[in-house]
Chain A
């Protein structure tokens, strides 16, 4: 049974303290913005964005610029492309996005294959390398995270009505195109922030899983955001510790913990969980059976 040193022991290392800070930031931001990813059905778009950002990361890495900025530029360009494609209702949106962004991902792989440490670099971009986080990375994550969360809070009512009732938002004269684009850029920013912690492939899980879990637990948007962010942080911290003590990949472990939390909540959630739903159905069946007896008895006597 792990004691207190299970928690304190890893903290003696500078790299673990930095990693811990990074996963906390990542969990909070992905969890919060993930609420909109889930509610607006943007999981696929999030996936596409993370792939499209990849060549930006690689390019910036190869020319020695900060990968944060490379990823950000590609993220914004891609967001704009998606927002424009989405306004044209005749284009089969999902196919277009699928074709473009898997292509863009391939470009990233070809680019990085010219690097001397091809396999190691590729692995760290795809699956994260949270133990290699620098202080600079943490500062960028913190700034980006604060910007994203601040925008979500300040634009609460605008983002809410655009997502819930688009026609009404347009009727009010809200610039729905720009709000959509802003949301996509915020998701891009979040993906960039998460690259170090969980990497390019697994980040979609952090955008979707905590928020989907939170949706099972509440019917209120602000509560959903807080719960989702908390689950993101809990999964990040727990995953990091498990990976440290068992010497397995941090990114994968973090996502597995999030998935496990989702599984537990899906089964045991007080209102929308599997167990509750089954119990309520059984009770309903019993009630119906009892009522039926009351109605049937006189019939039987009459015969």
Chain B
């Protein structure tokens, strides 16, 4: 689906992922309404909200594969639908045919497909990139294993490697922390941090508020509409999350002993953001 180009993007958004009035409907049922966001390079944005609130739909709308009825998505000044090779996507694990006779190497190589022309085969350079990315997620030893024989966490790492192999500017992760082990979670967190430092844009759809608050600079809270968008200090608050989830939410902050609840961590200059979980204490109490 091509997005209607209603308004040209503002000039100062050449370096951003700009979402304006994005509205998605399946049939005549609106599932996501009025999303607005300006996401700069080097920013990690958590998309949070209840199940069925439109987290996955937002990612798919950015990719142009959800039925968008209104609004625009521009990446670096161009319609996102025309920039697909620069957007890497890790779908939810449920959407994949795990019994398919493909190896870990085959799956990771699919990340090179957007850079490979129709009818062409990936070459030596592609194999090198794929090997490096598998090494990054510690899955090189499993290159020849059929994908369905791995654990959930290992499968997720292969999909992360596939997304990295695309060498894209935007990384969309749909519930990457679902049903995975601690090692995989650490690897995913490290990859997100590395992408941030490399000036990439990362969107992380998750129902896990703890990992969202650890990994992200900003939150985009959705529940069939966009409830709020902004830095953690403004959005990771009891009032805002209660509005998003339609009820009080118990907020567990990033693990640092003795912290009072709720707390947020300071969001500094995004380009030099570190994971120092400074406790801003009770400013929201």
Contacts and interface: CB of A to CB of B under 8 A. Distances in A.
Partners in one complex: yes
Interface of A: 39, 90, 154-158, 160-161, 163-168, 170-173, 215, 218-221, 223-224
B119 A170 contact: no
B113 A219 contact: no
Given A167-B95, A170-B65, A219 B114 contact: no
A164 B65 contact: no
B96 interface: yes
B101 A168 contact: no
B103 A172 contact: no
B103 A220 contact: yes
A219 to B, nearest CB: 4
Query: Top 8 nearest A-B pairs by Cβ distance?
Result: A219-B146, A167-B91, A170-B65, A173-B84, A171-B89, A171-B63, A164-B100, A172-B114
Given A167-B91, A172-B84, A218 B101 contact: yes
B75 interface: no
A160 B147 CA distance: 14
B85 interface: yes
A156 B122 CA distance: 11
Contacts of A224: 101
A226 B66 CA distance: 37
Given A154-B119, A167-B95, A39 B84 contact: no
B113 A164 contact: no
Nearest to B82: A173
A185 to B, nearest CB: 18
A171 B114 CA distance: 10
A215 B162 CA distance: 25
A275 B96 CA distance: 29
A172 B103 CA distance: 20
Contacts of A154: 119
Looking at A157, A158, A171, which has the most chain B CB atoms within 10 Å of its CB? A171
Nearest to B122: A157
Nearest to A224: B101
A164 B27 CA distance: 26
Nearest to A215: B101
Given A158-B118, A163-B100, A173-B114, 6 more contacts: A157-B122, A168-B89, A171-B87, A171-B89, A221-B106, A224-B101
Interface in B75-102: 81, 84-85, 87, 89, 91, 95-97, 100-102
Contact of B97 (A163, A215, A218): A163
Contacts of A173: 64, 81, 84-85, 114
Contacts of A165: 91, 95-97, 110
Contact of B116 (A157, A168, A170): A157
Nearest to B90: A168
Nearest to B147: A164
B85 A172 contact: yes
Contacts of A215: 101
12 contacts: A157-B122, A164-B102, A166-B95, A168-B89, A171-B91, A172-B84, A172-B85, A173-B64, A173-B81, A173-B84, A218-B101, A220-B102
Contacts, number: 74
A301 B63 CA distance: 65
Most chain B CB neighbours (cut-off 10 Å) among A161, A168, A171 = A168
Contacts of A172: 84-85, 113-114
A171 B80 CA distance: 11
A37 to B, nearest CB: 14
A170 B63 contact: yes
A168 to B, nearest CB: 6
A39 B100 contact: yes
A22 to B, nearest CB: 29
Contacts of A39: 97, 100-101
A158 to B, nearest CB: 7
B272 interface: no
Nearest to B148: A219
A168 B103 contact: no
Contacts of A221: 100-102, 106
A163 B119 CA distance: 17
B113 A157 contact: yes
A160 B116 CA distance: 14
B121 interface: yes
Contacts of A166: 95
Contacts of B103: 219-220
Residue in B64, B65, B89, B95 whose Cβ sees the most chain A Cβ within 10 Å: B65
A39 to B, nearest CB: 6
B121 to A, nearest CB: 7
Contacts of B121: 156-157
B79 to A, nearest CB: 12
